[in-house]
Amino acid sequence: MNTPVFSKRTATLDMARYEVASLLWLGEHAPGFVAVPCDPHTGEAVTVLPTAPTVATVQATPVRPTPAAAFAAGEALAALHQNPAPAFGAPPSYGGKPYAGETYIGRLAQPCEPTDHWAEFYTAQRVLHPARLARDAGTLLPEEFALLEEACAALLDCAEPWAHRDPVLVHGDLWTGNLLFTTTGPLLIDPAAHGGHPEVDIAMLALFGVPYWEEIVAGYSRVAGDCSAALERLCIHQLHPLAVHTLTHGRSYASSLVQAARATLAYVQ
């Protein structure tokens, strides 16, 4: 039996079930790049959703990242993003049907309601949902929320092709801690998987910092083509994690959220 090198216990059963469904969904389309869920007691691969709030994986030994490994991670992420999703906001598909439980980012519940258009999904379900909660909690000022609403309105009016692309499978919570480097290669853990815009994963890696960022971008570009234009609009896709962090971590993130909203307006208008 292999020993899990990454194992965790979630706060609730719903969180564990969503995370396992996300891992299985992504892993089906990106084998070897997504940490495979396993039973924490037996080490056997999971074939059903858990009945206890525990998520575990069986993988190789963690190692320090290298430029070559970062390049490979970029390639693998771009390959994952080649897989179409049924809709923006589509939840993981598990056992031949969509996952029907609560969906989360970290411990925060967030909606996953399938939507045809990216901007409609992103502004309502990913940006304004946590921002409204942050405003009500006092970590986002009313005038700051109004600026965010203005930025979201501009995204809804945007006619550029990048804003009208088809949905793909995305990790959904890809900060640097959820990209592991191991002896078998880079691995994704802790997803908040859904149908989305591929730039959200790139934007989150950039926002919170990741080793060998330039190599990751180079690997991604080798598979997906030149992504220099996408790098110019990272601020748009960073609105979501910054809104979430303004709610969960307080006003220390509000200024960054406001800055991203202003940058979004400048880019779109």
pLDDT of the residue at 1? 47
Q: What residues does 94 pair with on adjacent strands?
A: 97
Whether residue 91 is predicted with pLDDT greater than 70 in this model: the reply is yes
Provide DSSP, 1-45: -PPPSEEEE-SSHHHHHHHHHHHHHHHHHSTTTBPPBB-TTT-PB
CB 185 within 8 A of CB 165: no
Residue of 241, 236, 240, 244 whose CA lies nearest to 261:
236
Q: How far is CA 58 from CA 76, 163, 177, in A?
A: 19, 38, 17
pLDDT of the residue at 60? 75
Mean pLDDT of the 158-181 span: 97
pLDDT of the residue at 171? 98
**Two structure tokens written together for 153:** 């309105």
Amino acid present at 264: T
CB 70 within 8 A of CB 212: yes
Whether residue 96 is predicted with pLDDT greater than 70 in this model: the reply is yes
> What average pLDDT does the chain have?
94
pLDDT of the residue at 2? 56
Q: Which residues are catalytic?
A: 173
**Two structure tokens written together for 100:** 């029907």
CB 87 within 8 A of CB 195: yes
- pLDDT per residue over 216-247, tens digit each? 999 999 999 999 999 999 999 999 999 999 99
List all residues 6 or more positions away from 150 whose beta carbon is below 8 Å from its beta carbon: 261, 265
In order of their start, the domains of the chain are: 60-268 (3.90.1200.10)
Q: Is 15 exposed, middle or buried (0-12, 13-18, 19+ CB in 10 A)?
A: buried
User: What is the rounded CA–CA span in Å between residue 166 and residue 172?
Assistant: 16
Whether residue 105 is predicted with pLDDT greater than 90 in this model: the reply is yes
Mean pLDDT of the 44-66 span: 85
**Radius of gyration (Cα) for the chain, nearest Å?**
18
H or E stretch at 55: strand 54-57
- pLDDT per residue over 144-153, tens digit each? 999 999 999 9
User: What is the rounded CA–CA span in Å between residue 156 and residue 151?
Assistant: 9
pLDDT of the residue at 55? 86
pLDDT band for 3, please (50, 70, 90 cuts).
low
- pLDDT per residue over 260-269, tens digit each? 999 999 999 8
Residue of 15, 51, 73, 52 whose CA lies nearest to 217:
73
**Two structure tokens written together for 41:** 């007691």
Query: Which phi and psi (to 5°) does residue 57 adopt?
Result: -135, 150
Whether residue 207 is predicted with pLDDT greater than 50 in this model: the reply is yes
